[in-house]
Amino acid sequence: MPPEDITAGQMVSRLLYRDGLMLVIDKPAGIAVHRGPKGGESLEDHFGALRFGLPRSPALAHRLDRDTSGCLVLGRYRKALAQLGKLFKSGAIGKTYWAVVEGAPGGDEGQIELPLGRLDVARGWWMKHDPAGQPAVTKWKVIGRSVVARNFIASPLEGEAAERSSAGGGFIGDSDPSRHLSPQPSPSRGKRARFASSSAAHQLTWLALEPLTGRTHQLRVHCAAMGWPILCDAIYGTTSRKDGPMLHLHAREVVVPLYKNRAPIRVVAPIPAHMRATLTQCGWRDESQPRHFPPAFARAESQSVDS
């Protein structure tokens, strides 16, 4: 979905949560959230469709990479943005990402502690493990594993619009979003993937990732440094930067303790079409037939910012 093709209706259809202070939208992969130094259109250019009666458009409370899909938090006015900024800075907001990585981590869960620094001054947003860099910590947990043909790739985003339309644009008002966190075995869905002729086996692993710090490209660099790069990562992985398939990294869930006397707000983003085939290979089941599973990471009760 190129930015210039986004309509007001499509922006509204990506709304996952709305209240008086905050919105959460389902960001599509392949679109920058804001304009870069060279300009160009971005998702932020279309936030006017999300005013819902307020005089100003909502604004970004944090960032997601261009290639990452999923939960993107917006503040609806200045006070809300200030509150959300404090929560993100203090680490009070829980963030869980789902990724499919190439290779097989040796255990079932762990923690990566590798400081990060710039790879090249000319490309300030490319990062590397740097002992003298900024501290960066990521928790990881295996949800599923698979062995596939080496040239197995996810199909393009065909059918995404129809899928989102049938889902009503997200899970707004879902009284039990935990039902969407459902790793379950299921047979392969051939229409969503293709196999090239190859006898070589390729290991894939479905991970839940929780960044305890918020460095640029943290999850991508940490996974690559461990020897299991995120599938279809054209910078830190093995995918070509020209016309390659889309990155398999999805901001699955945010937990926001925004209100002092209420339970934290938990929002879950549906799986994007380009990740469904590989997740299915690793044991994910279509969310239309969910079961209850606990979140990948248990979090202690957080203190909210006074509203």
Tell me the HSE value of 136 on the side-chain side, using a 13 A CA sphere.
Answer: 23
Structure-token match 């501290």, residue found: 135
SS3 266: strand
**Are 257 and 303 spatial neighbours (Cβ–Cβ below 8 Å)?**
yes
Beta strands in the chain (DSSP E): 15-18, 22-27, 59-60, 69-75, 94-102, 109-113, 116-120, 123-129, 137-149, 153-154, 193-194, 201-211, 249-256, 265-268
- Residue 28 burial (CB count, 10 A): 23
Cα 97–Cα 280–Cα 160 angle in degrees, nearest 5: 75
d(CA 102, CA 112): 17
SS3 288: coil
Q: Which residues are catalytic?
A: 65
In this structure, what token pair is assigned to residue 144? 């599923």
In this structure, what token pair is assigned to residue 193? 């993937």
- DSSP type of residue 286: -
Cα 222–Cα 226–Cα 229 angle in degrees, nearest 5: 70
Question: What are the two backbone dihedrals, phi and then psi, of residue 2, each rounded to the nearest 5 degrees?
Answer: -60, 145
d(CA 70, CA 77): 22
d(CA 41, CA 243): 20
- Residue 121 burial (CB count, 10 A): 7
Cα 288–Cα 147–Cα 292 angle in degrees, nearest 5: 30
